[in-house]
Amino acid sequence: MFWMAVFILLISPLAAQFTPEEIMRRPEQERLLLKAEIVNYEKIGEGITKPFKLYLKQDEAHLSACWKNPTGRPKGYLEGWRYEIAAYRLDKLIHLNMIPPTVLREHRGKEGSLQLWVDVMMSDLDRMEQGIKIPPDKLVHWNRMKYLTRAFDGLIANEDRTQQNLLYTEDWRMILIDHSRSFRSSREFRKRLLTGMHNEGRPKPFRQLPRWFIENIKKLDYTGIQDVVGPFLKKKEIEAVLKRRDLILQEVDEMVRKTGESNVIYE
């Protein structure tokens, strides 16, 4: 299977798809991804970005990670490994906590993104192909995470959310990978969302969102994003994120007017 901040923001303990213990380990995981010795690697069979699975070791620590360095337009779509790192850093900034630690790492003389390999139960594609239903006691949470994923994909203009890059842990937490087709900045991606009620074609609305997410994206500004993403996004790409943030908030306001706040925003 294809393996699969800067300012204080409001956060709910129910927000994280990574557990609090896992989130506390992120700084050390980032350090290991950056510094641990690459002791072996292998090609991953799936994905047009031709990723590698790297095996790393430092002292007694062992971990695996996915390295990729797509750029340009392979297969006709704009790809960028820098977007993988930017997506992770923005995830941390707004406390989404759904993307595995991701850093810049050189491999075989080339720069690319290196993302922690997360052990998961299955992808959403596996679930669908095997006819596995979401457990009834997880269904409300699953729907909320689906809507949250759509809102985040709308924020970063992710053109490539598939069932294959939406992963489930054993306890049905949702993990997001593969963001190399994100952060579009052309005029069309400033005027509309790829997800939402008003998406052209098949709408994928985010019918409910947690209050912490809404409040956190409200606080985003150019300087705050730039401080976090560093060299990984251009000025126009950051500005496009803020334009799409405004579109998300407009849709939330529209839904609240139509159905009431309690039906749209949850704590």
pLDDT tens for each residue of 21-75: 999 999 999 999 999 999 999 998 765 668 999 999 999 999 999 999 988 876 7
Q: Which SS3 state, helix, strand or coil, does residue 39 take?
A: strand
Q: For the ranges 1-5, 99-103, 109-113, 135-139, which has the lowest average pLDDT?
A: 1-5
Q: Are 44 and 2 in contact (CB under 8 A)?
A: yes
CB 98 within 8 A of CB 149: yes
Q: What is the CATH number of domain 20-116?
A: 3.30.200
Band the pLDDT of 185: cuts 50, 70, 90: very high
Query: Exposed, middle or buried by CB within 10 Å (0-12, 13-18, 19+), for 207?
Result: middle
pLDDT of amino acid 8: 31
| Among 5-9, 108-112, 143-147, the least confident range | 5-9
Report the pLDDT value the prediction gives residue 7, as an integer from 0 to 100: 33
What local confidence, expressed as pLDDT, does residue 46 receive?
Answer: 62
* Spatial CB neighbours of 32, under 8 Å, sequence gap ≥ 6: 56, 58, 61, 63
Task: Give the residue among 223, 232, 235 at the shortest CA–CA distance from 85.
Answer: 232
CB pairs under 8 A, 24+ apart, for 166-169?
A: 166/123, 166/124, 167/4, 167/118, 167/120, 167/122, 167/123, 167/124, 168/120, 168/121, 168/122, 168/123, 168/124, 168/127, 169/17, 169/118, 169/120, 169/121
Mean pLDDT, the chain, integer: 90
pLDDT of res. 2: 38
Between CA 258 and CA 250 the distance in angstroms is 12
Per-residue confidence (pLDDT) for residue 202, from 0 to 100: 66
User: Is the pLDDT assigned to residue 10 strictly greater than 80?
Assistant: no
- Measured distance CA(262)–CA(62) in Å, rounded: 46
Look-up of token digits 């997410």 = 213
Average pLDDT over residues 170-182: 95
Determine the pLDDT at residue 11.
39
Contact of 251 with 198, CB cutoff 8 Å: yes
Lowest mean pLDDT among 69-73, 136-140, 179-183, 262-266: 69-73
182, pLDDT greater than 80: yes
Strand segments, DSSP code E, in the chain are 37-43, 52-58, 61-68, 71-72, 79-80, 102-107, 110-116, 122-123, 166-168, 174-176, 209-210, 265-266
Measured between alpha carbons, how far is residue 88 from residues 16, 22, 26, 126, 166 in Å?
Answer: 14, 15, 11, 24, 15
Q: Where are the domains of the chain?
A: 20-116, 122-266
Which pLDDT belongs to residue 48? 63
Share of the chain above pLDDT 90, in %: 81
Judge whether residue 267 has pLDDT over 80: yes
Tracing tokens 């690319």 back to the chain, one arrives at: 112
- Could you tell me the pLDDT band of residue 85, with boundaries at 50, 70 and 90? very high
Instruction: Check residue 123 and give its pLDDT.
Output: 96
Does residue 17 carry a pLDDT above 50? yes
Residue 5 has pLDDT above 90, yes or no: no
**Is-contact 15 213, C-beta < 8 A?**
yes
Contact 267, 211 (CB under 8 A): yes
Average pLDDT over residues 82-107: 97
Query: What would the mean pLDDT of 127-138 be, rounded to a whole number?
Result: 96
